[in-house]
């Protein structure tokens, strides 16, 4: 059985170019990775006070910072960092049915997003979730 990611990529090959992007709340998103139902579902995602959210624009060093966060969380919780440790899921990639699994994940949950901070689910603000926001200074060459 093909992974969901591979089946999405196969589906993308059959799509017309103009159907691969859409606008949601004034922002352009790729249909394959963040379909509209994903974005609607995360609006109701319940945050926890012990969550850690990495908010980074693409190409800002997200994966590098995930490694740093993983080591910090491991040191704080006493867990061992393994090479198999996964990067935090980008919440906008989660399908609605996968969000249910996320709700049952043990604390602390380390999550990530490339969404603009204005579009992060409201519960992350009201629950005072710890957020690390990364910016990149674009340098010209």
pLDDT tens digits, 59-109: 888 888 988 888 898 898 888 766 555 556 789 988 898 888 888 888 888
Domain spans of the chain?
1-33, 35-134
**Reduced to 3 states, what is the DSSP secondary structure of residue 108?**
coil
Residue 14: band (very low, low, confident or very high) from pLDDT cuts 50, 70, 90: confident
**pTM above 0.85?**
no
Longest dimension (CA), the chain: 49
How confident is the model at residue 79, as a pLDDT?
80
Which of 11, 104, 114, 116 is the catalytic position? 114
Higher pLDDT among residues 38 and 59, named by residue: 38
d(CA 17, CA 13): 9
Looking at CATH, the fold of the domain delimited by 35-134 is given as Rossmann fold (3.40.50)
Quick check: is 104 catalytic? no
Contact predicate 130/53, CB 8 Å? yes
């Amino acid at each position: 059985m093909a992974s969901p990611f591979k089946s999405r990529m196969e589906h993308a090959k059959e799509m017309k170019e103009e159907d691969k992007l859409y606008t949601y709340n004034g922002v352009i998103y790729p249909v394959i990775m963040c379909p509209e139902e994903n974005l609607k579902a995360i609006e109701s995602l319940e945050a926890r006070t012990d969550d850690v959210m990495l908010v980074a624009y693409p190409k800002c060093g997200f994966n590098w910072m995930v490694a740093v966060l993983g080591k910090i969380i491991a040191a704080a919780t006493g867990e061992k960092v393994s090479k198999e440790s996964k990067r935090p899921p980008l919440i906008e990639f989660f399908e609605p049915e996968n969000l249910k699994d996320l709700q049952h994940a043990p604390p602390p949950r380390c999550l990530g997003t490339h969404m603009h901070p204005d579009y992060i689910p409201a519960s992350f603000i009201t629950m005072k979730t710890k957020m690390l926001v990364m910016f990149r200074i674009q340098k010209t060459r």
